[in-house]
Chain A
Amino acid sequence: AQSVSQHNHHVILSEAASLELGCNYSYGGTVNLFWYVQYPGQHLQLLLKYFSGDPLVKGIKGFEAEFIKSKFSFNLRKPSVQWSDTAEYFCAVNAGGTGNQFYFGTGTSLTVIP
């Protein structure tokens, strides 16, 4: 069965620090990859997505993610975090051949200290 792993459960950073959140998936075929963010009290919002082409994907609010096929990874990065980035971040995979199923990681809680 497909699975998505987010190894960092809780991350605490100071403002202006750089961020990298890990995401690994287990599926050998074609995948579509997503990062969602859930700000406190709000619903899940799409941060960025990868379907094909350039493996370095730019998203909203200065976030980017890099798809490394050989490592089955899709790590999320931001060079300089802000207090407003405090949120829960979820990686998701939609694997070719599984139709409509999206597989989500358990999430990473990010707290940015002013």
Chain B
Amino acid sequence: NAGVMQNPRHLVRRRGQEARLRCSPVKGHSHVYWYRQLPEEGLKFMVYLQKENIIDESGMPKERFSAEFPKEGPSILRIQQVVRGDSAAYFCASSPQGALLTDTQYFGPGTRLTVL
């Protein structure tokens, strides 16, 4: 009965390095969402993906950030050349249908990224 899995749970990077965050959705779910939670703030939507497609990336910073959800394997959120301001908790959520507004999202435990 695996829920949404995220790894690593904690990631430490130095400025300028790359961070790769992984998310395995609930089995059978083909819709994935990524959120970022900065200190003292609520979760902020970043991107919504279906298998092999980016559906909505309106919440994603224009530079250095990218996301993918391949046909096989987990969804990846990639942050290139990290800066201190990227330090945050990154949450992944999945849903079985996604496009319907009534769909419930199931959240993973998050990855806490610390940039030194």
Contacts and interface: CB of A to CB of B under 8 A. Distances in A.
Interface of B, secondary structure class, is loop
A107 B107 contact: no
B60 to A, nearest CB: 12
Q: How large is the interface on A (under 10, 10 to 19, 20 to 34, 35 or more residues)?
A: 20 to 34
- Interface residue SS majority, chain A: loop
Contacts, number: 58
Nearest to A52: B102
Interface residues of B, number: 28
A101 B91 contact: no
A82 interface: no
Interface string B71-96: 00000000000000000000101000
Interface of A: 4, 6, 32, 36, 42-46, 49, 51, 90, 92, 94, 96, 99-107
